[in-house]
Amino acid sequence: MAGMNTTIPTVLSSEELMDKAFRRASKISKKGSDSLDGKKKTALARITASGDIVETTLVGYIQKFPRMEKQDDFFPQLVDLVIGIDRYKKALGALNWAAGRTELLKNQSLREVRRTKDPAIIESIKKGFYGRLGSYIDQISKDLLFLQDAKNKFRDLPSIDPSVPTVVVAGFPNVGKSSLVTYISTAAPEIAPYPFTTKGITIGHIKDDWRMFQIVDTPGLLDRDFEDRNDIEKQAVLALRYLTDIMVFMLDPTETCGYDMGKQTKLLRDIQGNFEDVPIIVVESKSDIERSANDVPHISSVTGEGMEELKTLLIGKLRTILRQRALEASDEEVA
């Protein structure tokens, strides 16, 4: 979904849209064979121009905003949480309605102008046209504002590609999640804003031959007691489930993160309950300071201990997931 933002245009407010249509139209003036003919041609051209501007602007928005359906998948769930898919679809529907009404109104007004020989009537048809056009646009002013806001929100969504097998790193704050993502990423990870927290989500990539896998941490989401979450955060955790192919849960046995091991293992159990189908690899961080006797990988982003082994383990599991996906896809083809 990265780059989606670049294709969505800035959405004009209702006033700006009317301004644009009127200003363009008012500059047009046509000569005719006589005064009446000139007035007629000018009115026809102005009505056509302002109607067309409104129509093409609205239809352009409808085409350039992404189609979104509610689905059990990471990106639609995220969009639903951040933007609201029902409201979003309603806004696009309202634009479609206004574009359709504009077209009808324009054609009807053009017919009426062509039929008359009275300059006063031409003037009143034109006025009536502008008035009704303005009222259609007025009626969608909230939808236009909503879509401009949605455009900004789309732009700020993290550029995580849900189709790439993904490792999600969880654990309390300060246990070393971002340090791990940075350490095993092929290039410097991207830090993207995440709608549910003030902290940036770290998005790294692991290169395996010609393939890339994603590794992300999830600040503010999987680092708190579940009871402390509000409804939106709970839904956001659900959305994460669709993204997570493998989870690395990080314990900090030094407790320098500020949470004792009892609390940390309780969070681990919480998460195991919420991510039942997801394989979870438990690791312990900061092995350069202190290590437990637990039979889990001990890693350190300071000395690099355990990092190559962890990376190899993750790549092995991610390859298996890719193979399973390919098998499922070919099964579907046969069926």
Ligand X SMILES: Nc1nc2c(ncn2[C@@H]2O[C@H](COP(=O)(O)OP(=O)(O)OP(=O)(O)O)[C@@H](O)[C@H]2O)c(=O)[nH]1
DSSP of 59-125: HHHHHHSPP----SSHHHHHHHHHT-HHHHHHHHHHHHHHHHHHHHHHHHHHHHHHH---HHHHHHH
| 284 lies in the site for ligand X, by CB under 6 A | no
Record the tokens describing residue 335, joined without a space: 């069926």
| 177 lies in the site for ligand X, by CB under 6 A | yes
- 207 CB contacts (<8 Å, ≥6 apart)? 186
- 298 CB contacts (<8 Å, ≥6 apart)? 283, 284, 287, 291, 292, 305, 306
Q: State in angstroms the smallest separation of the CB of 81 from ligand X.
A: 21
**Cα-based distances in Å from 96 to 15, 85, 144:** 18, 16, 12
Binding residue for ligand X, selected from 174, 272, 274, 320, defined by CB under 6 A: 174
* Rounded-to-integer distance, Cα 157 and Cα 236, Å: 13
* Rounded-to-integer distance, Cα 296 and Cα 105, Å: 71
Measured from the CB atom, the residue of 92 and 246 that comes closer to ligand X is 246
Measured from the CB atom, the residue of 14 and 285 that comes closer to ligand X is 285
| 282 lies in the site for ligand X, by CB under 6 A | no
Q: State in angstroms the smallest separation of the CB of 197 from ligand X.
A: 9
What is the amino acid identity at position 204?
Answer: G
Binding residue for Mg ion, selected from 50, 109, 178, 185, defined by CB under 5 A: 178
Picked from Mg ion, ligand X, none, the partner binding residue 175 (CB below 5 to 8 A depending on kind) is ligand X
Binding residue for ligand X, selected from 97, 173, 195, 319, defined by CB under 6 A: 173
**73, HSE (Cβ side, Cα atoms, 13 Å):** 10
Instruction: Tell me the residue nearest to Mg ion as measured from the CB.
Output: 178
Measured from the CB atom, the residue of 85 and 282 that comes closer to ligand X is 282
Binding residue for ligand X, selected from 158, 165, 219, 253, defined by CB under 6 A: 219
For residues 176 and 252, is the Cβ–Cβ distance under 8 A?
Answer: yes
User: Which of these segments, 123-131, 138-146, 216-224, 324-332, binds ligand X (CB under 6 A)?
Assistant: 216-224
3-state secondary structure at position 153: helix
Binding residue for ligand X, selected from 14, 77, 185, 285, defined by CB under 6 A: 285
Measured from the CB atom, the residue of 51 and 253 that comes closer to ligand X is 253
Q: What is the distance of C-alpha 61 from the center of its chain?
A: 16
Query: What angle do the packed helices 85-115 and 141-156 form, to 10 degrees?
Result: 140
Residues numbered 187 to 206 that lie near ligand X (CB under 6 A) are 199
| 158 lies in the site for ligand X, by CB under 6 A | no
What is the pattern of x (binds ligand X, CB under 6 A) and - over residues 251-270? --------------------
Binding residue for ligand X, selected from 75, 222, 300, 310, defined by CB under 6 A: 300
Picked from ligand X, Mg ion, none, the partner binding residue 55 (CB below 5 to 8 A depending on kind) is none
Beta strands at 211-217 and 166-170: parallel, antiparallel or unpaired: parallel
What is the amino acid identity at position 84?
Answer: G
Residues of this chain that bind Mg ion (CB under 5 A):
178
- Which positions lie near ligand X, rule CB under 6 A? 173-179, 199, 217, 219, 223, 285-286, 288-289, 300-302
